[in-house]
Amino acid sequence: MPDAIAPHVDFQYSDVRHQADTAIAGMWLFLATEMLFFGGLILAWLFCRHWQQAGFDAGSRETLIAFGTINLVVLLTASLTFAAGLAWIRLGRTRRLVQCCWLTAALGMLFLMLKSIEWYTDIAGRLFPAGAFKLTGAEADGARLFWSFYFVSTGLHAAHMIAGVGLLCWLALRARQGSFSAQWHTPVEVVGLYWSFVDVVWIMLYPLIYLIGRGA
Amino acid sequence: MSDHAQTAADDLTLAQPSYLEDGVTLRSWLLSTDHKRIAILYMVSITVFFFLGGAAAALIRYNLIIPQGALASAELYNRLFSMHGVLMVWFFLVPAVPVTIGNFILPLMLGARDLAFPRLNLLSWYLFVAAGIAVVAALFAGGIDTGWTFYEPLSSDYAQGHVVLAVTGVFIAGFSSIATGLNFIVTIHRLRAPGLTWYRLPIFVWSLYSTSVIMVLATPVLAITLVLLAFETIFHVGVFDPRLGGDPLLFQHMFWFYSHPAVYIMILPGLGVVSEIIPVFARKTLFGYKFVAWASVAIAVIGFFVWGHHMFVSGQSAYASVLFSMLSFLVAVPSAIKVFNWLGTLHKGHIRFDAPMLYALGFIGLFTMGGLTGLFLAALAADIQLHDTYFVIAHFHYIMVGGMVSAYFGALHYWWPKISGRMYPEMIARAAALLMFVGFNLTFFPQFLLGYLGMPRRYHSYPPEFQLLNVLSSAGASILAVAYLMPLAYLTWSLLRGSRAPANPWHALGLEWQTPSPPAACNFVVTPVVTGPPYAYPTSEARPFDA
């Protein structure tokens, strides 16, 4: 058995388990940095909203909640399909993993497509905070600030999605070559952590963007 | 390990090519994932940035020789101190010890063959270089006049330079530092040699660990702040700009949430270096090991909660200021623990004054002075008088330059035989160390007086009564410049002509000294087994030099 798995071990590790655990620990730590990255953004967002709540809520009511909600469902489903892929490869079912990766990547693309249409509609509706703006009056400043946060946060989230879809395609190709087995599939687990994190970010952003303002 | 097994392992190790001989092409350097080679790449890069930032400092001091300013315009002066700050903070002080000495020594200290993620390590260097190119391009294309702090709305609405490009550079440099920190933390957790428990780790490892925690957790907040700043500047929407409905204090809070802990990113590795050097050259075990180790962690943790002391006069709530003031006093406690423990280590030691030790001793004095003047600034009432004066400049230069740069040079000399396989010329190195100490004090001590007398920072000109102290400071700066150029010259010379270094020239304990100088590409052919604490001096192999 050690001979069969040896090719996956870099020379600084004692065995394949050692390497796998280390890679997973590294990804968790990376996600901690990501949490502080998005956490800083969300903190600034809530801070600004606290001072200009009326403007933020007026801005929030202009958002397209249907797009946001469908995207939430799409992303949650994408996490499900990827988790299924991980479960399959643990059983050694490579072909199923490949299918799950492609399906997840397709759902990710669907998310990005819907997001693009949403952005296009927003901008066409003069909701981009720079230049001529749809809202006027006392709430305009706060609403502009809301839309600044909207574009920064969804833009950063989309950038993470694009990276994630790229990783999924890479996984699918590697899986098709038979790189992963029931014994060794660390990249699948590592990418899975990342993909779930991107999902969690959207779960945080969704109420911030679409719900809080409407509820107030 | 028995003697016989040790000899066999030594033979195996000696048969390996050293990391310097393992490929001579440019490609074998630029695409190397060997932590030792990447450390050298970093060393070359930060040396370039150090001298660029130093040149800006020289021009600043030149300008301040005469009261009306020797340089043509105040704009140029603003751009010079901004360039000095940006380069020195993000491209020298933050990376200096971790990415060079840390990168090289950490795996050796752990008995590991490399960092946990060697390709990530190489990527971090490329990010660093890309960041450096962006910033240097911004600076030479006309520069920025915001200072290194990029305060809003000066940096967005009133910016007169290439702020977005410079900020992009700093943003990328941040990811380089996150990559390094992440790599170090995972390595320290996962790649320790058998028997190397946490309390057997050298203090340098503890301090790199603490530094890495700050890098990993604080830098992302700077990154998002800079994203918002760039968004605001490009699209003229107000996140921070009060005219557009934003809040400039929010920027200061977010900026200092990173930048105050970043001060500890800059100093903690220096504290680690000094804790390594002193036991070796005093031939004594480190006094109070556990306290020194946990003091690093305490500094890192408390350091996250003191950022508001940069904002005492910003109009933030007085209650917040009181709280931040108390927490700032608190951070002095672990710092003082370290200083007292070093003194305890020196007490009745067999002290030898080699160049690394001179730097370490200089560090203790200058760090103490910088730390004590920090207490003045942490006091609310005193800070209102001293805020934004040269007193602040003197205070943080005592920590950053007197402390950290001394520690960097100390580390460079201490590990130079291991890194290069050559000895540096000892007498001239001692002379440079002393000159650096003298030049430093002459440069920055007058600035305490200037600040106390009320000279504000970041001004191109000043009232004539401040001239004497300014001339003294500039004279000191010229001595300091010579002292910095000396190691550049003789260390380069030693690469070609220095005598071959033995494996363990200082008779030090520690796994890095068990490898040949320079180490083999794979570090350890046989993974070492650790059976004791790190500073068990004096021992039969490591007895007092003069005994």
Structure tokens at B196: 């190397």
Q: What is the C-alpha separation between B101 and B272, in angstroms, rounded? A: 11
B113 touches chain A (CB under 8 A): yes
Q: How confident is the model at residue B1 (pLDDT cuts 50, 70, 90)?
A: very low
Is residue A154, in this structure, part of any structural domain at all?
Answer: yes
Query: What pLDDT digit, counting tens, does each position of B449-504 carry?
Result: 999 999 999 999 999 999 999 999 999 999 999 999 999 999 999 999 999 999 99
- Provide the shortest C-alpha distance from residue B438 to chain A (in Å): 42
Q: Are the C-beta atoms of B32 and B118 separated by less than 8 Å?
A: no
Cβ partners under 8 Å of residue B2, min gap 6 = none
Q: Please report whether residue A162 resides in a domain.
A: yes
Strand (E) or helix (H) holding A75: helix A65-90
User: B365-387 pLDDT, tens per residue?
Assistant: 999 999 999 999 999 999 999 99
Judge whether B536 lies within some domain: no
Cis previous bond, B67, omega within 30 = no
Say if A8 falls within a structural domain.
no
Residue A86 carries which side chain, given as an amino acid letter?
L
Domain annotation covers residue B47: yes
Judge whether B196 and B228 are in contact, CB under 8 Å.
no
CA distance B547 to B545: 6
Q: What is the pLDDT of residues B69-113, one digit of tens each?
A: 998 789 999 999 999 999 999 999 999 999 999 999 999 999 999
Under a CB-based contact definition with an 8 Å cutoff, are residues A199 and A76 in contact?
Answer: yes
Q: For chain A, what is the domain count?
A: 1
Q: What is the pTM of this model?
A: 0.93
Give the integer Cα–Cα distance in Å for B127 and B105: 21
Cβ contacts of A47 on chain B, cutoff 8 Å: 247, 250
Asked whether residue A205 is assigned to any structural domain, the reply reads: yes
B235/A129 Cβ within 8 A: yes
Closest CA to A208 of A38, A31, A35: A38
What was the pLDDT predicted at A43?
Answer: 94
What CATH code is carried by the domain that includes residue B490? 1.20.210.10
Q: What percent of chain B has pLDDT over 70?
A: 96
Look at B224 and A44 and tell me if their CB atoms are within 8 Å: yes
pLDDT at A206: 96
Residue B520's SS3 state is strand
Q: Which domain holds residue A177?
A: 16-211
Q: Which ipTM was obtained for this model?
A: 0.92
Number of domains making up chain B: 1
Arithmetic mean of pLDDT, B293-315: 94
Per-residue pLDDT of B523-545, as tens digits, reads 988 889 998 889 988 765 555 55
* Average pLDDT of the residues in B324-332: 95
Q: Which residues contact B55 (CB under 8 A, 6 or more apart)?
A: none
**Considering the domain boundaries, does residue B537 fall inside one?**
no
Asked if the structure places residue B167 within a domain, the reply is: yes
Compute the mean pLDDT over every residue in chain B, rounded to the nearest whole number.
92
Q: State how far the alpha carbon of A183 is from the alpha carbons of A16, A175, B82, B146, B256, in Å.
A: 9, 13, 54, 55, 46
**Three-class SS of residue B500?**
strand
Q: What is the pLDDT of residues B136-173, one digit of tens each?
A: 999 888 888 889 999 988 888 777 778 999 999 999 99
Residue range B209-260, pLDDT digits in tens:
999 999 999 999 999 999 999 998 888 888 898 888 788 999 999 999 999 9
A137 pLDDT tier (thresholds 50, 70, 90): confident
The C-alpha atoms of residue B89 and residue B263 are separated, in whole angstroms, by 9
- As a whole number, mean pLDDT of residues A152-171 equals 96
Query: Which of B186, B522, B527 lies at the smallest CB-CB distance from A22?
Result: B186
Asked if A29 reaches chain B (Cβ–Cβ under 8 Å), the answer is: yes
Task: Answer whether residue B322 is part of any domain.
Answer: yes
Domain range for B66: 33-514
A28 interfacial to chain B (CB closer than 8 Å):
no
pLDDT given for residue A2 in this prediction:
42
Instruction: List the end-to-end C-alpha distance of chain B, in Å, as a whole number.
Output: 27
Distance from CA of B547 to the nearest CA of A (A): 40
Give domain status of residue B78, yes or no: yes
In a domain, B538, yes or no: no
Q: What is the mean pLDDT of residues A71-75?
A: 97
- Return the residue in B176, B221, B233 with the most chain A beta carbons within 10 A, the one to mutate for interface testing: B221
CA–CA gap between residue A65 and residue A71 (Å, rounded): 10
Per the CB < 8 Å rule, is A148 touching B189? no
CATH code for position A162: 1.20.120.80
Provide mean pLDDT across the span A17-37.
Answer: 93
On chain B, the residues whose CB falls within 8 A of the CB of A141 are 238, 244-245
Q: For B335-358, write each residue's pLDDT tens digit.
A: 999 999 999 999 999 999 999 999
- Residue B468 placed within a domain: yes
Burial class (CB in 10 A: 0-12, 13-18, 19+), B140: exposed
pLDDT, tens digit, 9 for 90 and up, residues B212-224: 999 999 999 999 9
Q: Please report the number of interchain residue pairs, chain A to chain B, with beta-carbon separation below 8 angstroms.
A: 110
With respect to residue A5, please indicate whether it lies within any of the assigned structural domains.
Answer: no
